[in-house]
Amino acid sequence: MHSMPNCQHFIDAGSQSPSLLRWALINASDRNARLLDPTNHTVNIMSDRGSSSMCDVCGVRPKYKDTFTTHAFCGRTCAQKAPKCLSPRCTQKGQKQYAGYCSVSHQSSAFCKQCRTTRADTDGLCSLCYRKREETMVHKFTRLSEVQRTHPDFLEVESRLQAAWAKKGRAPPLQVCRIIKVQPATEAEQARIAYARSLNEDPRGKPETYLTFYSNQCICDLGADNQPLSLCKFKSCGICKPLSSCFENLVFDKQAHEGRFGPGLYVNLDPKRADPHAISTTSSPYRVVIMSTAVLPFDPVTRSRTGKITKEYDFSPSDGCIRLSNDLSITPNFLIAYKRGLPL
């Protein structure tokens, strides 16, 4: 219960001026009524929580002020309880006035740069604006774009990698840290679509599609945190070279690797077999592997899982190794940065 304000000083003053006493009592009564009215949000004393002067977390104690600024929290305890900024990899505290982000810039970056009304999914655009842009643009180079952890593509790719990793034999735990979408140049992409269409028209049967993994020595910071998503120009980079050429050229501009089946591109169905080649010569804490889709022509022998050596490919079902001689049969989809072992 709220008590009436002490009006003794008004009464003392009213002994000299009755009109002043009458004015004081009316205003005091009106103010007390407004304070007790829960529908009056402008002066309701129960609305202290969330006000600009009270702690954003507990709403009980006033915000802490230092020499330079007023903080959003009353002390260390509430500061530790506050959620972090919703922007990926940002370690700052989220602010109520920015809807959970730490600043205006991080809040605005969460929305589509084109329509500014829908949350961004890929390359700063929502799915609709991104699709419209891709349909009207011709790209001469391979493009890379970060896949956010909350995006369905991230969850699906992570699940498929984990399933393939644990499929055969014992292996250390795998921690997926970043997933980067790979989009080939328009010309390379159209050539692969046409090749897949020609295989589908084979009257003997439909082609087989495999999820494959490829890795090699990475000599740049691709995939590392706080580094630009761009392919390097080094001929000796075993990751950027095949990505930029869509596997047409490999490290040192070679057309093929030498292997047990002869020259060709060797990929694996088991990511554990690609892992030993995932060597990083930089300070990046991650290993990287390219997840691709390989399309093999119809072959009844291959379908019987006995293995087959042909001009276009070799397939060894026993260890999941595939040799490809035609780069049109493989399309890079994602670059995955990962760590072996459990997160700390």
Q: How far is CA 84 from the centre of its chain?
A: 16
Six token digits for residue 66: 């230092």
User: Which residues in the chain land under pLDDT 70?
Assistant: 1-52, 88-89, 97, 108, 135-137, 168-169, 299-313, 317-318, 342-344
pLDDT tens figures, 34-79: 433 444 433 333 334 444 688 877 888 898 888 777 877 788 788 7
DSSP category for residue 5: P
pLDDT at 128: 86
Do residues 332 and 290 touch, judged by C-beta distance below 8 A? yes
Every domain range in the chain assigned CATH 3.90.228.10:
141-340
Q: Which of 190, 208, 193 is nearest to 302 (CA)?
A: 208
Res 67: pLDDT = 76
Q: Where are the alpha helices (DSSP H) in the chain?
A: 8-14, 18-36, 76-81, 104-109, 127-136, 152-165, 186-200, 240-245, 271-274, 300-303
Dist. CA 217–CA 238, nearest whole Å: 5
Cα dihedral angle (61, 65, 69, 73), rounded to 10 degrees?
Answer: -30
Instruction: Report the relative pairing of strands 330-340 and 313-316 from DSSP bridges.
Output: unpaired
* 8 Å CB contact between 228 and 145: no
pLDDT at 70: 80
What pLDDT shows up at residue 334? Answer: 96
165 Cβ neighbours under 8 A, 6+ residues apart: 171, 174, 270, 271, 272
Single pTM value for the model? 0.59
Q: What is the pLDDT of residue 292?
A: 96
**CA proximity to 280, closest of 322, 208, 338, 320:** 338
CATH of domain 141-340: 3.90.228.10
- The alpha carbon of residue 52 and the mean position of all alpha carbons in its chain are separated, in whole angstroms, by 33
3-state secondary structure of 225: coil
Lookup result for tokens 């890379």:
144
Residue 243 backbone dihedrals phi, psi, to 5 degrees: -70, -45
CA–CA dist 3, 23 (Å, integer): 19
d(CA 111, CA 146): 15
DSSP track, 115-142: TSSSB--BTTB-HHHHHHHHHH---SS-
Pairwise CA distance, residues 270 & 214, whole Å? 10
In sequence order, the 6+-apart residues with CB closer than 8 A to the CB of 178 are 146, 223, 225, 286, 336, 337
In this prediction, residue 47 carries a pLDDT of 36
What pLDDT does 337 receive? 93
Please, which residues have CB within 8 angstroms of residue 54's CB and are 6 or more apart in sequence? 48, 60, 61, 62, 63
d(CA 261, CA 127): 43
Write out the two tokens for 210: 């495999």
227 φ/ψ angles, rounded to the nearest 5 degrees: -120, 145
* The one-letter amino acid at 113: K
Give me 81's structure tokens.
């309880």
Q: Of 295, 300, 291, which Cα lies nearest the Cα of 270?
A: 291
Q: What is the pLDDT of residue 317?
A: 62
What per-residue confidence (pLDDT) applies to 13? 45
Q: What is the largest CA-CA distance in the chain?
A: 114
